[in-house]
Structure 1
Amino acid sequence: MTIDSVPGRPHDGRKAAVVLIGGGPRAALILERLAANRPGLFAGPLTVHVVEPHRPGSGRIWRRDQSPLLMLNSLAADVTMFTDDSVQCAGPAVAGPGLVDWARGVVDGSIPDVDVPDEDLRRQLRTLLPTTFPTRRLQSLYLEWFFARAVQALGPQVPVAVHRDLAVDVAADGAGYRVVLASGAVLRADAVVMTVGHTDSEPEPRSVAYAGFAARHGLFHAPPAYTNDVDFSALRPGQEAIVSGMGLAFIDLVVLLMEGRGGRFVDAPGGTLRYIASGNEPVLWAGSRRGVPYRSKISSLLRGEPAGPPRYLTAGAVAALLEVHGRLDFWQHLWPLMAKDAAFGYYRELFTGHPERVALPWSEFLPRFDAADWYSDDRRALVDQAVPDAADRLELEELDHPLAGMHFGGPDDVQDTVADQIREDLRLRDGGANSETLGLFLGLLYVYFELGRLVPMDALTPASRPLVSGWWHGFFSYVDSGPPARRLRELLALHEAGFVRFLGPQLQVGTDEELGLFTASSPQVPSTVTATALIEARLPGPSLAGSANPLLRSLSESGLGSEERTGSEATAAGTGKVLVDFSSRLVAADGSTRPGLYAVGPAASGWSGGAFSRPSSNAAPFRDSDALARRILTDLMELPAPAPDSFTSARLAASITQLHSSLT
């Protein structure tokens, strides 16, 4: 419902109030979990406020009004917002349709409460298959429907007010809080949850320097940002641009600047694509730390026996490490277990799904693999003996740095090598014959979820915390969260058409004042590229004090929140994230915490596993949202007994009408 500028009610003698700041999918999950857990934990009167400038449920990133060309990097079959029986949480699971079944229900009329605004989305609903990579616009409909369903599940006794506004400040107010909105409205709350998602930040010093250089020389510069929100109109047809970053933001960039400017792809022999130019395209020179794009999503099915949950990164193993070491070092204590579990998923599928490619039976390989440490000669010797083809042996360091140790004679060598890397990736991941890559994908996915469940951030050494949100999240994204395979085929077609060129690994971007041009080079390539444009293709890094979000800045200024620090006192550095404890409570500048003040998602220092996830995967976002909802409801039980509710049925009916109006 959209109720702008409605003041919240103080809890003394009245309703308890919860304010969710940010109304995207994570907030919708928490709302649904509040509904599921409330009957068993908190019977008192309650009202919920959701502060979100965009449409509730989808929020900014998944909003409907963005390019129809942009897609999820998840198959439709892998998207759900519902906690199923696999989710290990204290609250009750509530069944509901994943994206595919929801679309079928909308089409056949069994899910009637979805207003589809245009024919393109109606067509997408009709043609959606489990193997489809849906558009973000279609996902927005599902997320907004889920939000409305969560509101409905709370029932008439828990009114939900959605404020299409921006929160600018949170302040302590006795035992509760005052949330100030940009409109001037003030919400009073007993619990506040910040779910602001990815936010913009003030440019880093490096980007500020690039912007100044561009302004002096009349060049184009795009700092880190959500790609769909950047105005690229000043980038001229044929203009050469250096692109720093080859992750998902890079893929979105290529889509918007090529097909988004009128180009199109046609089928070519051998399952490849050919690009038909519109004449409006720039030329992109792309590089990154690895020098290659993210690995494509996998189309194979498992042929062998599923590996199941982690075998080595277990509760018992983590408890034993904590007992000995107190705090855990990521590289020394955790990564060897994580790597071994990822390899277990890979080799189980290779041995049980493709026995013709191995020299030992799985029953002989497994006990020897169990006994060998990841970084041991025994493990390497076992794999050498059991897997005859070196190309079938998994070394995660080589996967992370595919161009390491290569020295290129010139730019042409780089083009051929990176293009070959992309073709090989498509052969392995989209050809159907190498399902061991799916075994690796699932092994890493389970490790990603399990790590957050078993290892509180507080249990890590200070130096390890940024590794988790930095290297580990980046490696997982590179292997498991890449683009649909078609996007890489399109990239190859654009490369062959001359619109995408590759710079190599360990990209170094600079400026040349004398030439008035941006420069790009790789230590492995004996040449330098110059260009009149630079695009930093990545999301902004988190920043508390330097956030463009006024709420996060106010937390830093007031001391109610603090920035996560890593390293020893002498070398402490900030990660930019809001520091939270193991319960997701904000940690103030003086080290204290307050009940009822929480932060989750990519802006917070805790584990962040996204929002929606794969069905039947015991996904971390569902577990975490359930635990947080139960924590909030338990806190509310400590409040003074409320007086009789004065929220009238007439006002409730009007609110429900406004909700449906807002969502359609």
Structure 2
Amino acid sequence: MERLLAQYAARPARPARTPRPLHIHLVDPFPPGPGHVWRTEQSRLYLMNTQSFFPTLIPDQGVAAAPLAGCSFNDWRGRMRQTPDPALSEGDRAELAQLTATGFPSRALYGRYLSWCVARLLEKLPDGATVTHHRAEARRVARDHENGGYGVELLNGETLHADKVVLALGHVETRLSPAQREFRDDARANGLSYLPPAVPNDVDWDQLPAGATVLVRGMGLNFFDVLGQLTEGRGGRFETTAADGGALTYVPSGREPVVVGASRRGTPYRAKAALESYYPAGVELRFLGEDAVAKIRGMGATAGFEHDIWPLLHRDTLWAYYTTLGRSSPDALAAGFLPELDALLHSGLDGDGVDWAERLKSLTARHVAEGRALDLAALARPLSHHPLRPGGKHRFGSQAELDAAVLAYLADDAASSARGEEDPVKMAIGALNAGRAIIKSLVADGGITQESWLGELRGWFEGFVEGLASGPPALRMEQLAALVRAGVVHFSGPDPVFRIQHGLFQLSSPWVDAEPWHARHLVEALAPANRVQGTASRLLNNLQADGLARPRVMLAADGGAVVTSGLDVSAPPYRPLDGAGTPVPGLYVLGLQLSSVQWGTAIAAQAGAEYRSGYRTVLDADAIAADILA
């Protein structure tokens, strides 16, 4: 909507011709702006995963047509602190009074910003443009053979005529996987409580009783949403006392359940570092830089992640780690190590990777203090490389031993986050995150093979970098540690096994020598799967049934066909391919359903983005708007 209005207002004047009017119809059962996910009435315990300085709805680069109104979230935050908008609630005002540029806003406050931007745009409508919101759900988009264009059928029975339609659907309902459906059905048969993947604000958390054991599968961002509702959301509070050395203490309300967290790693995602910018200022991509990217892009869709991209990003990660280690702990490195490392990093790019890896191992063994070398595998699986388990063969001997190990991990990670640019691990993760931004653009430009996309990028790197770089604010780790000390939260151990036995959920780990956990309640702390095949969206299912859209199919390394999560689309401006593989004219796709051709770029636009992927969604919207108005 923003790009359509901006480009319409900027269209060249045509003397003696009446401009063709622009009528925009927004179809959404939720208010435009906040939509479903960013509803303004939700709990303020639900935080964004990015700091105030990050997000923007209004473009600040990369587009020709200037915005008509609005600003970035951080600029809005400053404006609202000085001159509060009448629409702000008391909760909004209280949060704004405390929120800094590096703080993490609540999702409710971000929804208020989105609502404000929409209101400002509606105030600035150019002559000839109208916007109408239909508070309903679209069930079908069908070709209008009589009048041209499309008929958009709503659930309330109304049909809208449209010349062009943009599918900006975001998160839509999804059906459970076969394994989840089986688990749900078995749970029902045994009278158990199974909470499937969901938007956290859609869940009635009161159905989980106080004092009961609650198993939570997944320890990513939704895990912390669950914890917040079951602790602070029930009247508990966190306090800082001098007697505890400044550590947080949890004061329970007595209404909490006992929570058992489970994930493949056995630990939560690592917390974000305390930084003044999204990417560390001290991290420079010397290998996966613009020259290398241009070379890889020139290969077309023949580049492989592990062969062409990872060796460069791995070197950038090593350099970020060891230069930070040399600055923060100079005694950890022998004299002359960094020049030798620099020479080694610039070698082996076109030679024997195995030999290069052995040379790196030998160099660090000779010149890096014991226990201080970068171990990426240990970062990804901290409990699998815990000192209590030398060689990965030792099981945790008890539940208390496991909880103590995770508690130590939480404390160490929170301390690392607080050190920010002075922490070697967080700077290595910062390099991985910056490299991820480069890779996103490469993927969107078609610069990687399908086999590599499926087996390497999505196969292992995505989960690896998500667990390191997409974690919660450090405060959440400190709060989780306090909950562990209070006995409210325990952990299952890595590679958890869930089953139903003797009428109860059972949870165990092959790495823990302890009695399995038993419970009547299981929460899937996962976002609903973003898959167009298997979706519960009437609209997406009807588009596929009517032959106006289809999921994209890729070929894996073994030649097998793999149905991807997103739609099959043309080059930008993205139009769905019909059943015959032909782009559908006048129909466009924007956002999450582009996951088959983009990697993690359909979530938000970054204010003052350093990398093109940071404002990719804006560019997509701009290209669609231009094609519509052409």
TM-score range, shorter chain: 0.7 to 0.9
The DSSP-based 3-state class of the residue aligned with 2:580 is coil
Q: 1:606 to 1:38 in 2, by over 3 A?
A: farther
**Equivalent residue number for residue 432 of structure 2:** 444
Distance 2:280 2:105 in 1: 29
- Contact 1:509 1:521 (8 Å CA) reproduced: yes
Given that 2:205 and 2:229 are in contact with CA atoms closer than 8 Å, whether structure 1 keeps it comes out as: no
Matched, 1:503 2:523: no
User: What letter corresponds to residue 619 of structure 2 in structure 1?
Assistant: D
Does 2:113 correspond to 1:142? yes
CA contact (8 A) 2:213 2:257 kept: yes
Q: Does 1:401 align with 2:391?
A: no
Point out which structure has higher relative CO (alpha carbons under 8 A, 6+ apart). 1
1:200 paired to 2:176: no
Corresponding position: 1:47 with 2:23: yes
- Classify 1:280/1:40 alpha carbon distance in 2 versus 1 (closer, same or farther; 3 Å): same
Q: 1:75 aligns with which of 29, 37, 51?
A: 51
1:34 aligns with 2:14: no
Q: 1:155 aligns to what?
A: 126
Q: Which residue matches 2:164?
A: 191
Distance (Å, rounded) in 2 between the aligned partners of 1:308 and 1:471:
24
Alpha-carbon distance, 1:278 to partner: 1.4
Find the counterpart in structure 2 of residue 548 from structure 1: 536
With over 3 angstroms needed to count, the CA separation of the structure-2 counterparts of 1:305 and 1:125, relative to structure 1, is closer
Give the distance between the partners of 1:213 and 1:464, measured in 2 at CA: 37
| Aligned residue in 1 for 2:615 | 622
Query: Do the aligned partners of residues 383 and 158 (structure 1) sit closer, same or farther apart at CA in structure 2, a change above 3 Å counting?
Result: farther
- 1:456-479 Cα shifts (integer Å, max 9, x gaps): 374433333345456444333322
Q: Would you say the 8 A contact 1:312–1:340 is kept in 2?
A: yes
Query: What letter is aligned with 2:192?
Result: L
Match 1:332 to one of 291, 300, 307? 307
CA contact 1:300–1:438 (8 Å) conserved in 2: no
What is the Cα deviation at residue 612 of structure 1?
3.7
> Is the counterpart of residue 379 in structure 1 residue 360 in structure 2?
yes
Distance 1:157 1:436, change over 3 A: farther
2:397 aligned partner, one-letter code: G
Tell me whether 1:596 sits opposite 2:569 in the alignment: no
% same residue = 32
Q: Kindly indicate whether the alpha-carbon contact (under 8 Å) linking 2:416 and 2:425 is maintained by their aligned counterparts in 1.
A: yes
Q: Is the 8 A contact 1:245 1:287 kept in 2?
A: yes
- 8 A Cα contact 1:305 1:352, kept in partner: no
Aligned pairs (5 A) from 1:397-436: 397-404=377-384, 405=392, 407-432=395-420, 434-436=422-424
| Residues 97-496 of structure 1: pairs in structure 2 closer than 5 A | 97-109=71-83, 114-152=85-123, 154-173=125-144, 176-268=149-241, 269-300=244-275, 306=281, 310-314=285-289, 316-318=291-293, 320-321=295-296, 326-351=301-326, 357-358=332-333, 359-360=335-336, 365-373=341-349, 376-384=357-365, 387-388=368-369, 390-391=371-372, 393-404=373-384, 405=392, 407-432=395-420, 434-456=422-444, 458-466=446-454, 468=457, 471-496=460-485
What is the CA-CA distance between 1:377 and the residue it aligns to?
2.3
Does the 8 Å contact 1:429/1:437 carry over to 2? no
Q: Give a deviation string over 1:548-583, Cα, whole Å, max 9, x none.
A: 221111122112111232335973232332222332
Q: Contact 1:52 / 1:163 at 8 angstroms: preserved in 2? A: yes
2: CA distance, partners of 1:210 / 1:443: 40
Partner of 2:553: 565
Letter of the 2:610 partner, please give it: S
One-letter amino acid matched to 2:622: A
3-state SS of paired residue (1:586): coil
Unaligned segments of structure 1, at least 5 residues = 1-30, 638-664
- Determine if contact 1:285/1:503 at 8 Å carries over to the other structure: yes
Unaligned runs of 5+ in 2: 14-18, 385-391
**CA–CA distance in 1 between the matches of 2:76 and 2:55?**
11
Deviation at 1:35, TM superposition (A): 3.8
Give, in angstroms, the shift of residue 221 of structure 1: 0.7
Judged with a 3 Å threshold, the aligned counterparts in structure 2 of structure 1 residues 171 and 469 are, in CA distance, closer, same or farther, namely farther
For 2:629 and 2:464, how far apart are their aligned partners in 1? 40
> Helix, strand or coil: the match of 2:250?
strand
> Secondary structure in 2 aligned to 1:587?
coil
Q: Return the alpha-carbon distance in structure 1 between the equivalents of residues 396 and 233 of structure 2.
A: 33
| Larger displacement relative to structure 2 (231-240 or 604-613) | 604-613
**Residue 89 of structure 1: how far off its partner (Å):** 5.5
Q: CA deviation at 1:282?
A: 1.0
Letter in 1 for 2:585: P
Aligned to 1:65: 41
The 10-residue stretch of structure 1 (220-229 or 381-390) with the greater mean CA deviation from structure 2: 381-390
Structure 1 residue 172, shift from structure 2 partner:
2.5
CA contact (8 A) 1:310 1:450 kept: no
Which string of whole-angstrom CA distances, capped at 9 and with x for unpartnered residues, describes residues 580-637 of structure 1? Answer: 2332221223222123322232233232321143534335252342244234423532
Aligned letter for 1:475? F
CA contact (8 A) 1:47 1:160 kept: yes
Partner of 1:7: none
Name the CA distance, whole Å, in 2 between partners of 1:433 and 1:618. Answer: 20
Q: In the alignment, residue 396 of structure 1 is paired with which amino acid?
A: L
Aligned residue for 1:509, secondary structure, equals strand
Alignment TM-score, normalising by the size of structure 1: 0.82
The CA distance in 1 between the partners of 2:30 and 2:292, in whole Å, is 44
Q: Contact 1:88–1:618 (CA<8 Å) still a contact in 2?
A: no
Deviation at 1:481, TM superposition (A): 1.9
Give the deviation of 1:201 after TM superposition: 0.8
Q: Which amino acid aligns with 2:157?
A: G
TM-score for the superposition, normalised by structure 2 = 0.86
Question: What residue number does 1:646 align with?
Answer: none
Structure-2 change in CA distance of 1:33 and 1:424 (3 Å): same
Contact 2:42 2:108 in 1 (8 A): yes
Letter in 1 for 2:74: V
Distance of aligned partners of 1:433 and 1:173 in 2 relative to their CA distance in 1, 3 Å threshold: closer
Contact (CA 8 Å) 1:458, 1:582: kept in 2 or not?
no
| Inter-partner Cα distance in structure 2 for 1:153 and 1:316 | 42
- Which is worse superposed, 478-487 or 244-253? 478-487
Q: How far apart are the structure 2 equivalents of 1:210 and 1:53?
A: 31
- Matches of 2:223 and 2:126, distance apart in 1: 43
1:657 aligned partner: none
Deviation at 1:239, TM superposition (A): 1.0
Alignment partners' CA distance in 1, 2:361 and 2:67: 43
Map 1:578-657; keep pairs closer than 5 Å.
578-583=567-572, 584-604=574-594, 605-607=596-598, 608-609=600-601, 610-618=603-611, 620-637=613-630
Q: For 1:417 and 1:296, how far apart are their aligned partners in 2? A: 17
- The 3 A distance-change label for structure 1 pair 561 and 455 is same
Letter in 2 for 1:625: V
Question: What are the Cα deviations for residues 254-284 of structure 1, in whole angstroms up to 9, with x where unaligned?
Answer: 0001111111111132221111111211111
| 1:286/1:500 contact within 8 Å kept | yes
Determine the C-alpha separation between the residues in 2 that align with 1:89 and 1:618.
Answer: 15
Aligned to 1:524: 511
Amino acid at match of 2:311: P
* CA separation of 1:511 and 1:42: change in aligned 2, threshold 3 A: farther
